[in-house]
Amino acid sequence: MSRDLRRLLRRPDDPDAYPTEPSDEEIAARAGIARDEVVRFDLNTLGGGPLPAVAAAHAAWDLRRAVEYGDQQYRGLRERLGELAGVDAARIAIGAGADELIRLVTRLSAGDGDTVVIPTPTFGMFAVEAGLAGARVAAVERRDPHRRQAVSDILEAARAGAARLTWLCSPNNPTGDAYPRDEIAHLAAELEGMLVVDEAYLEFAAATLDAPVTALTAIGLQDDHPNLLVLRSMAKAYGLAGARIGYLVSPSWLGERMNVERLPLPVGSHTEALALAALEDTDAAEARHRLIVGERARMAEALSAFGWDVVASVTNFLLARPPGGLATVVASGLLSRGLVVRDYPLDSLLASWLRITARAPRENARLLGAVRELAVDEGLAGA
């Protein structure tokens, strides 16, 4: 006698999942090239390889530490992050990438039938975790890739749904633009629920604007706005995407609660050592950020000369539309050369757009050379 065991699940229907990317090996096999010829312009990872201090920390790490558990409180790491952010270490929670912390915040603040407001298009995990929590997503759609949503539109959606949680990715993935601090402050002041600002790309904005991160981050707004949380990541700006480490800066009243709610040891000792090393060599990190944003500007200029429509960015990536909107053709042509860019579903606002990471100079030159070849082969206007 067969039984439908799905009835044992709290939510039997299959949830929406975050899309998985093909591996480098799969891409190399499709393109008929060697694995080391594949370059990922689709994941917004740090071009140029590991930071020198990170490479040194990896080489010096004692493998015997893998046998024992690390410090469950991450005291050293939290103290260093708190020092850089200008907050007490008790307000910082460590997670296995930003993704785990997105789940933590969502599950803590929203559940069945609650409203979560998400300006879109943006990082897909916000909606995925809202769905897994049983919440209803109220999407505030962007009408034009070049123009971010008005704060008034976000507030209207939050008030209409009595939202318990609102996400704001700033700088935003995939568009590359950001909200000024005064607009974030206004949003936090008017919202009844939580506001979480995802600042995964803020270090690149600081390099773009030649400003310190502390002048741009929303962390300094928390004393006046106790419903405001700030999500940060070491994946992009510090080149630790594969090591998986993120952190959440909460207002004073919530910091200890977040450290109770998180998993006991979400980040391993090796990752913690790499993160500490990266944070002790901020000069090298900032130099890399300046290199990358310079490369982004060069790529934007070149793509514009090819006739592409390019959205102004303060991140390490560009959102750009090929002539004629032939994003699928261009993405496929690049993929055949082992160059991977991010394209979007045909039913989305960004169907004719591509997101392209700015990487090391030689890699970017290879991409632009391939774009030039495709312009000739496909007869794209503007080449």
* 177 and 237 part of one domain: yes
- The total domain count for the chain is 2
Question: Does 204 reside within a domain?
Answer: yes
Question: Does 383 reside within a domain?
Answer: no
Are the CB atoms for 341 and 317 separated by under 8 Å?
no
The pTM assigned to this predicted structure is: 0.94
* 94 and 177 part of one domain: yes
Question: Does 253 reside within a domain?
Answer: yes
* 272 and 349 part of one domain: no
Question: Does 108 reside within a domain?
Answer: yes
Question: Domain boundary residue among 257, 280, 303?
Answer: 280
Residues 6 or more apart whose Cβ sits within 8 Å of residue 199: 170, 171, 217, 218, 230, 231, 232
* 210 and 288 part of one domain: no
Query: Among candidates 56, 55, 74, 52, which has minimal Cα distance to 269?
Result: 74
Question: Does 107 reside within a domain?
Answer: yes
Question: Does 148 reside within a domain?
Answer: yes
* 31 and 141 part of one domain: no
Question: Domain boundary residue among 249, 280, 311?
Answer: 280
pLDDT of residue 375: 87
Are the CB atoms for 221 and 185 separated by under 8 Å?
yes
* 205 and 112 part of one domain: yes
* 192 and 134 part of one domain: yes
Alpha-carbon gap, residue 145 to 357, rounded angstroms: 17
Alpha-carbon gap, residue 253 to 248, rounded angstroms: 14
Query: Could you give the angle at the alpha carbon of 145 between the alpha carbons of 139 and 150, nearest 5°?
Result: 55
pLDDT of residue 18: 78
Query: Among candidates 151, 162, 153, 110, which has minimal Cα distance to 133?
Result: 110
* 91 and 176 part of one domain: yes
> Which domain CATH number covers 210?
3.40.640.10
Averaged in consecutive runs of 10 residues, what is the pLDDT profile of the chain (383 residues)? 72 77 89 91 96 98 95 96 97 97 97 97 97 96 96 98 98 98 98 98 98 97 98 97 97 94 94 97 96 98 97 98 95 95 94 98 98 79 47
Q: 148: which 2 tokens?
A: 């971010």
Question: Domain boundary residue among 280, 315, 344?
Answer: 280
Q: Which residues of 324-335 are buried (b: 16+ CB within 10 A; e: fewer)?
A: eebbeebbebbb
* 234 and 122 part of one domain: yes
Q: What 3-state class would DSSP assign to 225? A: coil
* 263 and 184 part of one domain: yes
Question: Does 365 reside within a domain?
Answer: yes
Q: What are the helix (H) ranges across the chain? A: 24-31, 52-60, 75-85, 97-109, 125-132, 151-160, 181-190, 202-209, 213-216, 255-261, 269-279, 282-305, 327-335, 361-378
* 168 and 202 part of one domain: yes
End-to-end CA distance of the chain: 66
* 123 and 235 part of one domain: yes
Render pLDDT for 243-302 as a digit per residue (tens, 0 to 9): 999 999 999 999 999 999 999 999 999 999 999 999 999 999 999 999 999 999 999 999
* Residue type for position 82: G
Residue range of the domain that includes 352: 5-50+283-378
> Which domain CATH number covers 303?
3.90.1150.10
pLDDT of residue 383: 43
